Structure 1
Amino acid sequence: MNHDELMDNLVNQAPDCGIGEDSDADDLIDADETTTQTPTQIHLTHSVSTEQIGIRLDKLCADIFGGFSRANLKKFIDEGQLTVNGKVVKPKYAVKVGDILTLEAVHESHSEDLPENIDIDIIYEDEAVIIINKPAGMVVHPGAGNRTGTLVNALLYHFPKQAHLPRAGLVHRIDKDTTGLLVIARTKSAQLSLINQLKDKSVYRHYQCIALGAVHEVLRHAQIDAPIGRHSTHRTKMAVKQTGKPALTHIVNAKYLHERYSLLDIHLKTGRTHQIRVHLSYVGHPLVGDPVYGTSPRSGLSDRQRCAILDFGRQALHAYMLGFIHPVTGEAMKFHAPLPKDMQQLIEILNDDTQ
């Protein structure tokens, strides 16, 4: 079975309703955002296909060696570590069919990210990948204001060998207060494979969320096709804007919770920062608990229901299904994570019409 058949089979097996963001390239981990603590020896090759004829070397390399930034790839080319048919060429070289691109380099970076004994929920692991069910409140990797307590710190403790990989093997992100599934690579080749699958949009991601709006109202917006970019005045926010990047969200199904609230199953077809949160707010169905794109509870709620919504301390969003092609075996892999307890409890309260 080839790659396309495997993914078709995976998609066809997905349930119509799970009880369904975050950021195509926007939530990708660039290998230069690295926490590597030891040098990584790289040896990668690629044979140019008919479809790739005439593409500039630097542009093609950015597509096929997706774990590295354009700046790093240009450096590899300029220093002769990335060659064509064994020869040093310029970044603007137009590739020909059958050209053999070879990348041989030592990739180094420096980091102060330290191992921390933090519990993590490991759904699956083998020699190439780890699947994590991330809790709410955990930042994926260190950054300004979050140097410790992140998933990367936890990975470095539980899997010390991850230290030789950029970002400890991360290939994508979800927001701090979004729960659910993340895939972690255990080798450089697995990391590159998974990053490229994300770029090719062949990674299958479904989310569950609790949103404002009756089922029939929400399903009027089953396909939300609206570009997303940085908000013009609030730089920490994203917004639908014509100058933004293409973004496509598919609402697969909606389940009744209350006359004004629904449980949605969402297929993320691209991965822009805050995509689901921005898109649902844009069409008038913001997530419960969203501190940035949300809204106040509407009328028609009992006191208990209103309090439950007001007290829900995060966006009610959970990455419940993740599918991809295994980077070593070529098998179609699919994983599920149940709804976290806080969302289950909120659903029970909204469902209780006797209050």
Structure 2
Amino acid sequence: MGRPLRFRVVDSEDGSLLPQLLARRVPELSLTDAKELVRGGAVYLGHLRVRLPTMRVASGERVTVHLEGLEARPLSSELVRFVHRDPDFVVLDKPPGVPVAQTRQTARGTLAEALRRTLVDEGVVRPYVGVVHRLDQGASGLVMFTVRSVANKSVHRQFAEHRIERRYRVRVVGEPPAVLRCEAPLCELPHGRVRVAQSGEPRARPAVTELRRVEPVLGEVEGRAAALLDASLETGRTHQIRVHCQSEGFAVLGDRKYGERPPASEPDDRGEGGSEPSRLFLHAYRLGFAHPTTGERVDLRAPLPDWARAREDE
């Protein structure tokens, strides 16, 4: 991922339209491309994401441009796969490789945007889509969105109080024991990384992951042993399963951030070339919670991909 381009608006540019400024300052950008970058949410004035091509700039403002935002494309409506629909919320089955919500680089190509567009196509005027929780971009499975703002508070409280039941299937490298409980506290770092916290570290947050092997260990990737685990969370920290598995010596297959680093000749996260996994082998297959308005129990399941199925599932 390239580094963003940053510059300040000079006095002679005061009052310019933002796309015109970008086209002048960045030689490789046409005016059309500059407008697309703005509409796609890849341009910031100060810390504010700007998506209006009619925005004018002022002298001294800092402009940040993420040029890779040009590569983002809207998701096909076919990728909005409903598992459950309700007047207050929806639950979707997220495909691997799709971000749940906008990233720093772009607001396009996300599941939230695709859901909003689907609701518009169904006749909903200015639909509300609230992102309740996130699932790693490379992972797949159940993700909940609220579609009425009144439901947001109740659902977020359940997540904050760890009253949402979440179950995952994950394939890891190595031969873990039949049952493994990891209680290592986690610490979030800049740029989206997470690590196991040191003893007494003030930023440490408690995290508990229960892992259970669901079938005998198999040889899967270039002769390496690989195990299929069922994971449940008592807390919901960023990258919790990935970091806990890695800290116990069993990195998640396909994890480029916390797992094994492939040689430069091997594929990147998009799986271009080579024989390494091209996705993160992590799938959220079960979600249980109290309905935000009725309080009734809701228990939802997503289909398991082939790699996540054990004999007991058949």
* Range of TM-score over shorter length: 0.5 to 0.7
**Superposed counterparts of 1:24-103, under 5 Å:** none
Aligned-partner Cα distance in 2 for 1:289–1:226: 22
Of the structure 1 ranges 152-161 and 172-181, higher mean CA displacement relative to structure 2 is found in 152-161
Q: Does 1:237 align with 2:237?
A: no
Q: Does 1:118 align with 2:77?
A: yes
Q: What's the C-alpha RMSD, in Å, of the aligned pairs?
A: 3.0
Higher relative contact order (CA 8 A, sep 6+): 1
For residues 235-291 of structure 1, the C-alpha deviation after alignment (integer angstroms, 9 at most, x for no partner) is 442110122211110114432241622110000111111110000000001111111
Q: Does 1:286 align with 2:251?
A: yes
Q: Please state how far the C-alpha of 1:170 moved relative to its aligned partner.
A: 1.5
Q: Please state how far the C-alpha of 1:112 moved relative to its aligned partner.
A: 4.2
The answer to which structure has the higher helix fraction is 1
> TM-score, structure 1 length as denominator?
0.56
Question: Which of 306, 314, 325 is the aligned partner of 2:279?
Answer: 314
| Contact map agreement 2:228 2:308 (CA 8 A) in 1 | no
Q: Secondary structure at the match of 1:143?
A: coil
Q: Does 1:134 align with 2:90?
A: no
Q: Please state how far the C-alpha of 1:296 moved relative to its aligned partner.
A: 7.1
| Contact map agreement 2:74 2:110 (CA 8 A) in 1 | no
What residue in structure 1 maps to residue 168 of structure 2? Answer: 207
Question: Which of 181, 206, 209 is the aligned partner of 1:223?
Answer: 181
| Contact map agreement 2:169 2:308 (CA 8 A) in 1 | no
- Aligned residues between the structures: 221
Aligned-partner Cα distance in 2 for 1:318–1:227: 23
What residue in structure 2 maps to residue 145 of structure 1? Answer: 105
- Indicate the percent of aligned positions where both proteins have the same amino acid: 31
| Contact map agreement 1:205 1:267 (CA 8 A) in 2 | yes
Report the CA distance shift for 1:128/1:309 in structure 2 as closer, same or farther (over 3 A): farther
What residue in structure 1 maps to residue 288 of structure 2? Answer: 323
Q: Please state how far the C-alpha of 1:204 moved relative to its aligned partner.
A: 0.4
| Contact map agreement 1:180 1:319 (CA 8 A) in 2 | yes
For residues 18-67 of structure 1, the C-alpha deviation after alignment (integer angstroms, 9 at most, x for no partner) is xxxxxxxxxxxxxxxxxxxxxxxxxxxxxxxxxxxxxxxxxxxxxxxxxx
| Contact map agreement 1:118 1:149 (CA 8 A) in 2 | no
* Structure 1: runs of 5 or more not aligned: 1-108, 298-307, 349-355
> TM-score, structure 2 length as denominator?
0.63
Report the CA distance shift for 1:323/1:309 in structure 2 as closer, same or farther (over 3 A): farther
What residue in structure 1 maps to residue 236 of structure 2? Answer: 271
The one-letter code sitting in structure 2 at the alignment partner of 1:282 is S
Report the CA distance shift for 1:309/1:321 in structure 2 as closer, same or farther (over 3 A): farther
| Contact map agreement 1:210 1:288 (CA 8 A) in 2 | yes
